[in-house]
Amino acid sequence: MKTLERPPGVLSEPEWRVEGRDKVTGAARYAADVRVPNMLHAAFVSSPHAHARIVKVDASAARGMLGVRAVITGADVRPARYGRRLQDWPVLCWDHALFIGDRVAAVAADTPEIADAAARAIAVEYEELPAVLDPEAALAEGAPVLHLDPSPYLYLGGKRPTVPNANVQGYGLHEHGDVDAAFASAHRTFEHRFTLARTHQGYIEPHATLLWLDGDVVRVVSTNKAPYGLRQQMAACLGLPEEKIVVDAGHIGGDFGGKGHSIDEFVLYYLARATGRPVRAVMRYADELQMSATRHGGTITLRTGVDREGKFVAHSARVVFDGGAYAAGKPVATLMPGEAMVTLAGYHLPNVRVEAMTVYTNQIPAGHSRAPGQPQNVFAAESHVDLIARELGLDPLELRERNAIRGGEIDVEGDVWHDSAAHEVLATLRREARWDAARGRGHGRGIALGARPSGRGKSAIALRLDREGRVEVLTAVADQGGGQHTLFQRIVAAELGIPLDRITVRRGTTENTPRDAGIGGSRVTPVQGGAALEAARKLKAKLDEVAPGAPFAEAARRAAPLEIVAEHTSDANVNAVYAYALEVEVDRDTGHLRVLDAVLVADVGTVINPVAARGQLEGGFIFGLGQALMEELRVEDGRVTTTNLGDYKLPTIADAPPLRIVLLTDSPGPGPFGAKSVGELSNPGVGAAVANAVHDACGARVFSLPVTAEKVFSALRTERRAGPQEGWHTDAVRE
């Protein structure tokens, strides 16, 4: 076990966001705030059918309208397809449209109003085809194949893994131990099935893009959080060299996974080329909800065998995610959400078989959303564990204590943990949530345990030192709200032992910064933060060389101007563990539920930005609570019916219950000074904690998210009839 380095004193100084002033005065620049002279506005025509062949596009009327500068259709972009890893999404469809919202034509015009009018004047003739709206239907024998010839699709960074069925986007099968033998000898076996709604990231800022051609250079102002990633995707899709594309991301108005995926950037290139003018597109929120890459809905079936002590001796799972019409929104090599295979996180599991897949359907494409795959899997896992505890007549916390992973034990993915805070987290939760105290009438308490690995990847950062001893941090990392620029400032100041106000942070474009992996996958603190620390160390070594033993100011005077570029790779497999206890009140007559109180215990390692770390955990809790209680992207016959933020409900300040956060900081992470990642730690566990608390309060079990009053009400009625509930299956006791 690695011992914790003592965090330097500067980390105990108050945190003051480096971009704070700009954000509270309206000066902070977001992509939609940028305007350039002569700029045109884009509008799009999209398919009203879930699956259709495009017979004819007649744009003649639109082309003749005053103020319309270009109209393009699929024929003009063919065969360009885009995507984060697999480029399977046509820039504009030319033969088939695969979901309601798939684009078939685009317009650039002098004003947004003219562009909209022109788009409405484009007549498209379709031949409707049978739609495949459900993953199981897509997997069935004889189902229509949605992508008839994927062989020309580009797969960035390697070779696309093979899939067992033409309608499968990504597939994984993991096995360790002898799972069949372990099930055969298990004392009891439990199986439950859970369904998960499709949800939206719900950032308040819609995607925005401004693109123009500057000689042979393509300049892009974008809401994309991974500028180098977007550059690579555009280069591949458009057939341009990477150096001829410059991506400039400013402040990003919320991400939660959704801002890694860009849509408009690709088609705007063709519009800019056709018009010779800058073109701008700002997504309407209605389009955000109908065509951006949402969180995957799906079904998860879990089966776990226990021995006489309630120890998990065998576990198998089948995870089927509805990937929608395209896999383009998924950046991970497997073309599945990153944690698709982690079906029972935080437990010792010697015998496991997990099968997971993402499936093509004629639905809105699914991509990445905060802790991809986890909110679904943790909901299933922690509901499952709770149900097992009830069946065994054990306290749910006790069952978790019996099974939570320890250092040296093996997890669901077959990885051995060197070190585990799981038991400390559970013990702390028992105490802090007063778990053993009696519940009030109609009240129930639910817990959930979870774990998330710290992010991995590679990044580089530059430092510039001037004669006054000021240090500028130059980075490609955009700020999507996580506080990364302040993080770099604090890390560099701490390592150099100089005051915070000596450090400034400047974000650059892909033209003038070292290459960076972008924000995502809880990567910033260990990876980019690690690069900042590495750069500061290199700078210190350089100063020592030039002026051995001199104080910083003097050494800086002698060594400056100096530029250091440092690269850092973090690939340590270190998990952070967390647990929730929630208390709810359920009205048995209506199913109405209210969350009264929440306690979160989180193992976070060293805290570098105390305000931001707390903010991430608090914000993640409400993010998770929204998806636990109210959020669902409703779809009927392939059509999203929650098309504005009035229908797709996000939590408001009135929905935020009292929350107490207890941080455990002793177990070191892979980040600077022993930090771990926190940005995706607190949202996945909330759904299960709510469902478990509801069960505790009234005996009703809800097997799907969100846990709404209607579902609680109908589960209560089922429970009163005392029949077996949907999704519930328990094997006979084996003697």
Partner 1 sequence: MSTHDLRFTLNGERREVTVPADRLLIDVLRDDCGATGTKLGCAVGVCGACSVLVDGELQSACLLPAVFVEGRSITTVEGLAKHGELNALQEAFIRDGGFQCGICTPGQLIAATALIAAHPEPSDGDIREWMMGNLCRCTGYYGIERAIKSAANV
Closest distance to ligand FES from the beta carbon of 619 (Å): 8
Asked if 406 is part of the footprint of partner 1 (rule: CB under 8 A), the reply reads no
> Cis ω on the peptide bond leading into residue 79 (within 30° of 0)?
yes
CB of 616 to ligand FES, least distance (A): 11
User: Judged by CB under 8 A, how many residues of this single chain contact partner 1?
Assistant: 58
Q: Which does 282 bind (CB under 5 to 8 A by kind): ligand FES, partner 1, none?
A: partner 1
- At closest approach, how far in Å is the CB of 483 from ligand FES? 11
The binder of 615, among ligand FES, partner 1, none, by C-beta within 5 to 8 A per type, is partner 1
Per-position x/- string for 269-288, each x denoting binding to partner 1 as judged by CB under 8 A, each - no binding: -------------x-xx---
Question: What is the C-alpha separation between 431 and 436, in angstroms, rounded?
Answer: 8
630 binds partner 1 (CB under 8 A): no
Work out whether 35 is an interface residue with partner 1 (CB under 8 A): yes
CA distance 31 to 254: 12
The residue among 27 and 181 lying less far from partner 1, judged by its C-beta, is 27
Comparing CA positions, the residue from 267, 211, 222 lying closest to residue 244 is 211
Beta carbons of 689 and 582 less than 8 angstroms apart: yes
- Residue 66 in contact with partner 1, rule: CB under 8 A: no
Q: Which residue ranges make up the site for ligand FES (CB under 6 A)?
A: 204, 254, 481
Distances (CA, A) of 13 to 8, 493, 522, 540: 10, 11, 24, 21
Tokens of 230: 């977007």
Cβ closest to partner 1, residue 234 vs residue 263: 263
- Determine, following the binding rule CB under 8 A, whether residue 67 of this chain makes contact with partner 1: no
Q: Binding to partner 1 (CB under 8 A): which residues in 649-688?
A: 650, 652-654, 656, 659
Give min distance, CB of 613 to ligand FES, in A: 15
Question: Cα dihedral sign for 333, 354, 312, 697?
Answer: positive
Task: Concatenate the DSSP letters of all residues of 256-318 into one string.
Answer: TTGGG--SHHHHHHHHHHHHSS-EEEE--HHHHHHHS-BBPPEEEEEEEEE-TT--EEEEEEE
Please report whether residue 39 would count as binding partner 1 according to CB under 8 A. Answer: no
Residues 190, 256, 269, 379: which binds partner 1 (CB under 8 A)?
Answer: 256
Does residue 244 bind partner 1 (CB under 8 A)?
A: no
Smallest separation (angstroms) from partner 1 to the CB of 162: 38
Taking the C-alpha atoms of residue 263 and residue 278, their distance in angstroms, rounded to an integer, is 17
**Residue 687: helix, strand or coil by DSSP?**
helix
Of 204 and 438, CB closest to ligand FES:
204
Q: Which is nearer to ligand FES, 20 or 67 (CB)?
A: 20
42 sits near partner 1 (criterion: CB under 8 A)? no
Find how far residue 20's CA is from the centre of its chain. Answer: 25
Alpha-carbon span 152 to 404, nearest angstrom = 46
**Cβ closest to partner 1, residue 332 vs residue 612:** 612
Identity of the amino acid at 200 = H
Q: How far is the CB of 387 from partner 1 (least distance, A)?
A: 29
Residue among 514, 509, 499, 510 at smallest CA distance from 464 = 514
| Cα–Cα distance measured from residue 36 to residue 32, given in angstroms and rounded to the nearest whole number | 11
**CA-closest candidate to residue 377, choices 312, 315, 305:** 315
In whole angstroms, the minimum distance from the beta carbon of 326 to partner 1 comes to: 25
User: Whole-number minimum distance, CB 70 to ligand FES, in Å?
Assistant: 29
Report the interface residues with partner 1, using CB under 8 A: 14, 16-17, 19-30, 32-33, 35, 201-206, 251-256, 282, 284-285, 479-483, 611-612, 614-616, 618-623, 644-646, 650, 652-654, 656, 659
